Amino acid sequence: MPKQMFEKDEKVLCFHGELLYEAKILEVIQDSPSEPFQYRVHYKGWKASWDDWVEDDRLRKMNDENRETAQALKRTYHESTQKPAKTTATKKKGQLSDFGSTRGSEERNGSMPTTSRGQKRGRNADIEDEDTFHNRPMIKIPVPDFIKSLLVDDWEEVTKNLSLIPLPASKPANMIIDEYFDEEKEKRFPGSAEMDLLEEVRSGLKEYFDVALGRTLLYRFERQQYKEAIKAWTEGKGEWKGRTCVGDVYGAEHLCRMIVQLPEMIAQTNMDGQSVNRLREEMTKFLQWLNRNTQTYFTADYEPTNQEYKDSSRGGN
């Protein structure tokens, strides 16, 4: 049976399109005990003609965390609507935009999907596919500046200093996702749409990470370490015991590498606009939480590598 999540006259944040706006609940109705509650809201500063009937999945409690989310979504929206600056033919290595691309990086051994059996597609098929691609909802996830700086440092440590993140991570990606879930679920009502979405994001992040790690998240210099890690967790001895997938081995740095790639991954799915907006909100909250806990989850010390490893990594993996 649906629960009433908000009260009459309560001040809330409400989604209208891609953004969250301050609003007040004017009226609450429920057509039958099995039907969801409906809330009539008035957006602060808007004419009454914009008053809207919404369900609880468009509403958020008026608290500091959700205000921060609303501001982050607003900043991201304004950035995405600005006229893009002209780009040069050459991109500086180490620029953060490189982290979000599975195509342009010279440092990763990722590859783009190919058509079945290498068949050539006709010109019309190419046009249809391109049109379909550009019509898909796009998602831009606001990454906190401090996490951006950590990713730049991470890139330099691996590709310039030829150091590695120690494995297995003491706080692997699956543990990070679970700890966020355990903290965040206390703020949500069991059985609510928000709780269902949180559970979907939890499982989705783990699945994406397992698939993406070996394909697009590693720098070339890390691939030899990846081979050694597979062997170690397969044998399951010592600190590797009980680790059964990459989500149990790699930590926050690789998880964040994946998150900045999510827009490109999602563009290749059939998610609708509403689902994209909800996912963006969830990822914004997750990154804000991770940004507050960087000292807990990000590694402070990278491991220097010996000459044998350097020679092996150059051997063409």
Distance CA 68, CA 74 (A): 10
CA angle 149, 155, 158 (to 5 degrees): 140
Instruction: Say whether pLDDT at 86 is over 50.
Output: no
pTM of the entire structure? 0.63
Instruction: Say whether pLDDT at 116 is over 50.
Output: no
Tell me: the pLDDT tens digits for 262-296? 887 777 677 777 778 888 889 999 999 999 999 99
Instruction: Say whether pLDDT at 115 is over 90.
Output: no
Looking at per-residue confidence, does 227 or 85 come out higher?
227
Out of 56-65, 68-77, 206-215, 229-238, least confident range: 68-77
Output the average pLDDT for the chain: 80
Looking at per-residue confidence, does 145 or 10 come out higher?
10
Residue 206 near residue 177, CB atoms below 8 Å? yes
Of all residues in the chain, the percent with pLDDT exceeding 90 is 44
Tell me: the pLDDT tens digits for 280-289? 889 999 999 9
Distance CA 81, CA 21 (A): 18
Query: Could you tell me the pLDDT band of residue 67, with boundaries at 50, 70 and 90?
Result: confident
Instruction: Say whether pLDDT at 164 is over 60.
Output: yes
Residue 52 near residue 31, CB atoms below 8 Å? no
What are phi and psi for residue 110, nearest 5 degrees? -85, 160
Tell me: the pLDDT tens digits for 202-237? 999 999 999 999 989 999 999 999 999 999 988 988
What are phi and psi for residue 277, nearest 5 degrees? -65, -40
Instruction: Say whether pLDDT at 179 is over 90.
Output: yes
